[in-house]
Amino acid sequence: MTDAEQMEQARRVLVGGVNSPVRAYQSVGGVPVFVTRGAGAEIWGVDGSRYLDCVGSWGTAILGHADPDVVAAVCRAAQDGLSFGAPTPGETELARRLVERVPGAERIRLVSSGTEATLSAIRLARAVTGRDGLIKFAGGYHGHSDSLLVEAGSGALTGGHPSSPGIPAELARLTRVLPYNDGAALREALAREGDRIAAVIVEIVAGNMGCVPPEPDFLAALTEATRAAGARLIADEVMTGFRVGPEGALGRYGIRADLITLGKIIGGGLPMGALAGSGRDLDALAPSGPVYQAGTLSGNPLSVASGIATLDKLADPQVYTRLAGRTDRLAAGLEGLIQETGAQATVHHVPGMWSVFFCAPPVRNLEDVRRSRPQAFRHFFHSLKSQGILLPPSPYESAFLSLAHEERDIDRILGAARTALRTLPP
């Protein structure tokens, strides 16, 4: 069966043929690859096609696909039962690892997705501050809950709907949207109405408008201005947690947040999210406090087993040295190719994450990202795909490397990129 035939069948029973909008290839055109299996840095499609994978389950697969130790841990857990709706020792073990490694984490609440973690963080911040207002940054995607789907990145941008219908205007008015990487705008907003702001939520490294690293003044404003206003700083580390370093983006950039949301890697490929923070705040959640949050599958034993096995394999800091080195080499190679070919493009990267924007620098925020030429990205995407390399099918998504990507894979990406850049449309 071909991808096109599979898509035709899927559209009959699934909305748009997919279960998450960006998978539909609306931004790049064509038919999505229907994946049947993965191993290491590669995936296979229904028609037998084989691809070097730079999507990595949108950042989840830091070890690569079907890591034998993780698969074995999940199989052992499955033999004892799939779900109990009761406490298990594994939940405590996973939470202990998170408390040990996440800066500022004293308590953990396990949930089933990053979206659930961020919506719970906002509810908690509003409860403990007694305020309703929220500040986010244009292009930052923190899940599809109502308070957050305002000027959102990721699939919301790809689909051309920065704000979704169905969000009450009254709720949207509680969310202030500021430019990412603009410390002055944040200071001004908090000075003007800080007493009404419950929280500032941020992807420290933006990943849902492509990979855009933070600038020093912006990082300083996040911590200093938020603290001065008495608002909570929520660090959305769903994508960057345990990816950009052993302590995530918080550790990499040396800042502290009041609340931290996690997902993706901490489930090792199975559904998992977490809310972390101080005991002062987290103990306000039920059953210790009055702020209600619950979930039948929270702390699911299979996800917990997968997460523990993944984090144990990431315990050696040398794995991040290797990941950073390969990402640096890829980015340097791409920059060299841009100079060689004369392409108008900008490369950003942090360990394990990278993006090519088809516009001149600087690329600091969503306004800059929108200068990137969509037709150039479409060409780049399909050229690499035809050469057996799969990128995220949107110019608003970061691409990823895993620990399974070898030096020869970096060479392969660079070789394909040379071909693509030499044939870019004007």
> Is 76 a member of any domain?
yes
Residue 7 parent element (H or E): helix 3-13
> Is 325 a member of any domain?
no
β-sheet bridge partners, residue 56: none
Q: Where are the beta strands (DSSP E) in 123-254?
A: 133-137, 175-178, 197-202, 232-237
Q: Where are the alpha helices (DSSP H) in 176-247?
A: 183-193, 216-229
Domain count, the chain: 2
Catalytic residue annotation: 141, 236, 264
Q: Are residues 18 and 80 in the same domain?
A: no
> Is 1 a member of any domain?
yes
Question: What is the rounded distance in angstroms from the CA atom of residue 229 to the CA atom of residue 225?
Answer: 6
| Residue 342 Rama label (left phi>0; alpha psi -120 to 50; beta) | left
Q: Where are the beta strands (DSSP E) in 76-158?
A: 107-111, 133-137
> Is 147 a member of any domain?
yes
Structure-token pair, residue 376: 């150039």
What's the pTM value of the predicted model, to 2 decimals? 0.95
> Is 375 a member of any domain?
no
Q: Are residues 31 and 76 in the same domain?
A: no
All residue ranges of the chain with pLDDT < 70 are 149-164
Q: Are residues 127 and 214 in the same domain?
A: yes
Residue 150 has a pLDDT of 67
165: CATH: 3.40.640.10
Domain range for 23: 1-43
Q: Tell me the pLDDT tens digit for each residue of 14-63.
A: 999 999 999 999 999 999 999 999 999 999 999 999 999 999 999 999 99
Q: Are residues 36 and 159 in the same domain?
A: no
Q: Are residues 285 and 226 in the same domain?
A: yes
Q: Tell me the pLDDT tens digit for each residue of 224-240.
A: 999 999 999 999 999 99
Closest CA to 333 of 257, 217, 418: 418
Q: Are residues 171 and 80 in the same domain?
A: yes
Q: Are residues 117 and 259 in the same domain?
A: yes
Closest CA to 203 of 281, 264, 132: 264
Residue 164 has a pLDDT of 67
For residues 416 and 384, the answer to whether their CB atoms sit within 8 Å is yes
Q: Are residues 279 and 146 in the same domain?
A: yes
